[in-house]
Amino acid sequence: MTPFDYARAGEVAEALRHGTAPGAAYLGGGTNLVDLMREGIARPDRLIDVTGLSTTIEERADGGLLIGAGVRNTALAEHPAVRQRYPMLARAILAGASAQIRNMATVGGNLLQRTRCFYFYDVDGARCNKREPGSGCDAQDGFNRIHAVLGASDACVATHPSDMCVALAALDATVHVAGPQGSRSLPFTDLHRLPGDRPDQDTVLAAGELITAVELAPLSFGANATYRKMRDRASYAFALISVAAAVEMDGDRIADLRIAFGGVAHKPWRATKAEAALRGGPATQQAFLDAAAAEFADARPLRDNAFKPALAGRALAAVLGALTTGDVA
């Protein structure tokens, strides 16, 4: 690990003052950043601890929730409003990592966790455009069972590893950001980028910008929702495929719905095509499978991950089957 300084920020302005300096990085729970530093992937000169800045979960007048970026994953998953109105989010969080990691990890940090691509992690022995722009991508023709099938580029086929972010993508969340140029808000689905030719940039955040909160819009049918994760062991493994979905029925037709996939792309994948295909239509297994097929029509499977579109479709059909018949576990 490269030597670094550490400072704890008491307020946002102070964090920004330190955080805009070259080589500075914001520190949340450290469950990803510290690993990356140990591996020599991240080499910040200075860590600005922002865990004390915004740790509250506030009810909004419109029925939404404002979640401070410093809220720990465990606290968010256990919050009564989250469990009742956004159970998809609680389930997504609890599907990830381990209890010990969730106790440390923050909301802001979870948004900024980096890919688990094997080649990204191998600083000494592998090429990776995300880690070292222009060096090449060893995952394209290497081990890529956990890699992207949608939205990837020749430069990068990595996936975003978060479970929580898949739920946030489905829930039309808003990200509040403070920065040297002032504060701004952006739709959650705009926060993460597709790799294009700049896979080193996971998000659209500018240097020094700090996530201060995530806001959940009210969702009338948010209680009829779930998160399902498929992986290689029963716990403590990243998703091969995950599905977040919420459904509102109108008789036997789907009035409205939200769908997002994890494990398929460089960003949490809001499935707008599948939603459009199903909205107002019948809730049949065939319709679900067709919607998934529409979403994955452009999928570009790699050597090891050709199973992903089919698995995603089957999982979506199972999840929507349960949600449209009131059979969700």
Does residue 125 interact with another protein by CB under 8 A? yes
Kindly write out the interface string for residues 224-243 of this chain, putting x where it contacts another protein by CB under 8 A and - elsewhere: ------xxxxxxxx--x---
Does residue 119 interact with another protein by CB under 8 A? yes
Does residue 118 interact with another protein by CB under 8 A? yes
With a CB cutoff of 8 Å and minimum separation 6, the contacts of 233 are none
CB 158 within 8 A of CB 198: no
- Kindly indicate which of the ranges 63-71, 86-94, 139-147, 178-186 contains the residues binding another protein, using the contact rule CB under 8 A: 139-147
124: its two tokens: 């000494």
Q: Total number of residues binding another protein (CB under 8 A)? A: 33
Closest approach, Cβ 147 to another protein, in A, equals: 12
Angle between helix 307-324 and 285-295 (nearest 10): 140
- State the Cα–Cα distance between residues 140 and 246, nearest whole angstrom: 34
Closest approach, Cβ 143 to another protein, in A, equals: 5
**Binding residue for another protein, selected from 3, 134, 182, 326, defined by CB under 8 A:** 3
Chain length of the chain: 329
Comparison of 83 and 231: residue with beta carbon closer to another protein: 231
Closest approach, Cβ 38 to another protein, in A, equals: 8
**Binding residue for another protein, selected from 116, 193, 279, 300, defined by CB under 8 A:** 116
* DSSP labels, 253-273: EEEEEEEEEESSSSS-EE-HH
Closest approach, Cβ 68 to another protein, in A, equals: 28
Does residue 273 interact with another protein by CB under 8 A? no
- The HSE-up count of residue 285 (CA atoms within 13 Å, CB side) is 4
Instruction: Give the containing element (helix H, strand E) for 200.
Output: none
- State the Cα–Cα distance between residues 267 and 176, nearest whole angstrom: 18
Does residue 2 interact with another protein by CB under 8 A? yes
Comparison of 231 and 279: residue with beta carbon closer to another protein: 231
Closest approach, Cβ 121 to another protein, in A, equals: 8
112: its two tokens: 């900024």
Q: What type of residue is 34? A: V
**Binding residue for another protein, selected from 53, 126, 277, 292, defined by CB under 8 A:** 126
- For 72-93, the three-class secondary structure string (H helix, E strand, C coil) is EHHHHHHCHHHHHHCHHHHHHH
A 10 A CB-CB count for 33 gives 21
Instruction: Give the containing element (helix H, strand E) for 249.
Output: strand 241-250
Kindly write out the interface string for residues 25-44 of this chain, putting x where it contacts another protein by CB under 8 A and - elsewhere: ---------------x----
Closest approach, Cβ 135 to another protein, in A, equals: 13
Binding site residues, another protein, CB under 8 A: 1-3, 40, 116, 118-119, 121-122, 124-126, 138, 141-143, 145, 230-237, 240, 307, 310-311, 314-315, 317-318
